[in-house]
A and B are shown apart, each in its own frame.
Chain A
Amino acid sequence: MQYLLLIYSNEAETAALSPKDRESMMAEYTEFTKSIIQGGQFKAGDRLKPVSAASTVRIRNGKVLTTDGPFAETREQLGGYYLVEAKNVDEAIAIAARIPGARYGSIEVRPVWPPQT
């Protein structure tokens, strides 16, 4: 089964990291990504630009409404994701726990519907 691991963290805190801390965090991510590629679990994964760069689109009364950023005022924002192949939720949780961001933010583990045939 495929699981989407959604990485939530506080953008302001991440932005305030010293260059040295940022560098070591990036190095940890690179290493983690390499390990799940080698383990055969990696399907996709990306880092997202901050919420300030986001647009939200809705269609109301047939009109496209575009607004700045998501509205939700949450403490943590979606900052990146991995799509992984795991045999069950325990394996997915174990992978999620190795994501560097799990130590300061949180990782949502979402099972993906298999494609309809």
Chain B
Amino acid sequence: MAIEEIFRREAGRVLATLIRLLGDFDLAEDARQEAFGAALEQWPTAGVPANPCAWLIQTGRNKAIDRIRREKVFRSKMLGELAGAESQGEVAADADDDSFGDDRLRLIFTCCHPALSGEAHIALTLREVCGLSTQAVARAFLVSEETMAQRLVRAKKKIRDAGIPYETPEPPLFNERMHGVLAVVYGVFTEGYAATAGSRLVDAELCTEAIRLGRLLDELQPANQAALGLLALMLLHDARRPARVSDAGDLVLLEDQDRSRWDQSKIDEGLALVDRALAIRGQVSSYAVQAAIAALHVRARKKEDTDWPQIVGLYEVLLRLQATPVIELNHAVAVSMVDGGARALDLVDSLAARGQVSEYHLLHAARGRFLQQLGRLREARDAYLAAMSLATLEPERKFIAGRIAQIDQSLAVR
């Protein structure tokens, strides 16, 4: 295997373990860099060691200790710990896959700690767990590299200053924190799947990273219904990605998508995961329910085959778990497919009457769709115009403009 390939595969594990051994993010990143440098020098002549990951960790740790001694900038505690038991034992001896896995899980929990801001969670996770460059993370957030670098520095300083532990929490805290971790992973995915501003609709790199994180969590924390459900949900959404944007860059609604362009291998994997998730007993996770809904969509080979009554039922389960405006809106859309536009319109009007979401463009777009369905074209046009005034994503704006043009044509024909 090429050395670069090994680096790419091991980078996350090496960093996670170095952070545990050195107790400091920046020191660990530098140490990993130096270990990679040493490997590039030595491996071509001496050969790739049997356990490259352990070699990189051992070398990185030794380089870090040398540097601490040389620069004498250490905190006494840090050197004390390093000079203790750890420095005697060979890292290679305990470097089995389990301990690396534990270190990566620790790192995820640290990056997603609730004492950090939501922005910091996603930025740190992408940088430290996924190993994305600061530049790539900055691109994902649509900020300059400098701004992102500062944000990461502040987040790492908070980890040090606040005493955020580098630990996987024990129960009962575990479930609560796991929930937070999954929310961060899903946040990375949705940021990629439906970018919140600008002209790009999908950032495939973020979707791919989120799915990689989902797989990692499933691997490190097996048989967790929420983690399985989330991974299934992301795969089933991502399977539809190739059909979601037309060649011209326009948004294509689920019902209008060319289903032959869906990624069948992701669908198969996602469907199997949904079954596994739903087979786990205990409190049902909203991710598993959302994945089950996504599964019903992709199981229909033609849009007419979609099992809408069951989808409505699943949305009702979801509403009992977490009644958010977005879920209420999606429930209304499903209802419109079963009971028609009139009942769906009642549902969104009651949602709008409760305030909260009048600034949400998709609510107005849904109203427009139901009114159009009912033949109330002038009101539908007004609703689409309201949606247009609030939408920020260019492909979504184009889609709404298309609907308005369609209505204008129908009105002109009359």
Contacts and interface: CB of A to CB of B under 8 A. Distances in A.
Interface of A is mostly: mixed
Interface in A55-111: 86-90, 92-94, 109, 111
B101 interface: no
Contact of B169 (A3, A90, A92): A90
Residue among A86, A92, A111 having the largest count of chain B Cβ atoms under 10 Å = A111
A1 interface: yes
Contacts of A93: 115
Contacts of B173: 90, 94
Contacts, number: 27
A89 B169 contact: no
Interface residues of A, number: 12
A87 B163 CA distance: 8
A20 B197 CA distance: 55
Interface string B228-247: 00000000000000000000
Interface string B149-182: 0000000000001111101010001000000000
B161 A111 contact: yes
B134 to A, nearest CB: 25
Contacts of A1: 163
A111 B167 CA distance: 18
A88 B161 contact: no
B260 to A, nearest CB: 50
B162 A111 contact: yes
Contacts of B163: 1, 3, 86-89, 92, 111
A93 B169 CA distance: 13
Interface residues of B, number: 10
Contacts of A3: 163
A82 to B, nearest CB: 16
Nearest to B169: A90
A94 B170 CA distance: 12
Contacts of B167: 88, 90
Nearest to B114: A93
Contacts of A109: 115
A6 B164 CA distance: 18
B250 to A, nearest CB: 47
Contacts of A90: 164-165, 167, 169, 173
Contacts of B164: 88-90
Interface string B111-126: 0010100000000000
A92 B113 CA distance: 14
Contacts of B165: 87-90
B380 to A, nearest CB: 44
B406 to A, nearest CB: 50
Name, among B162, B169, B173, the residue most crowded by chain A CB atoms within 10 Å (CB to CB): B162
B169 to A, nearest CB: 7
Nearest to A113: B161
Contacts of B169: 90
B176 to A, nearest CB: 11
A87 B162 CA distance: 11
Contact of B115 (A86, A87, A89, A94): A89
Nearest to A110: B162
A89 B115 CA distance: 8
A68 B167 CA distance: 46
A89 B109 CA distance: 13
A91 to B, nearest CB: 8
Contacts of A89: 113, 115, 162-165
Nearest to B162: A89
B209 to A, nearest CB: 27
Nearest to A92: B163
A89 B164 CA distance: 5
A88 B161 CA distance: 10
B93 to A, nearest CB: 27
A109 B113 CA distance: 14
Nearest to A88: B165
B109 to A, nearest CB: 10
Nearest to A117: B76
Contacts of A86: 163
A87 B165 CA distance: 9
A1 B173 CA distance: 21
Contacts of A111: 161-163
A4 to B, nearest CB: 12
A92 B162 CA distance: 10
Chain A to chain B: the 5 pairs with minimum beta-carbon distance, closest first = A88-B165, A88-B163, A89-B163, A1-B163, A89-B162
8 contacts: A87-B163, A88-B164, A90-B164, A90-B169, A90-B173, A111-B161, A111-B162, A111-B163
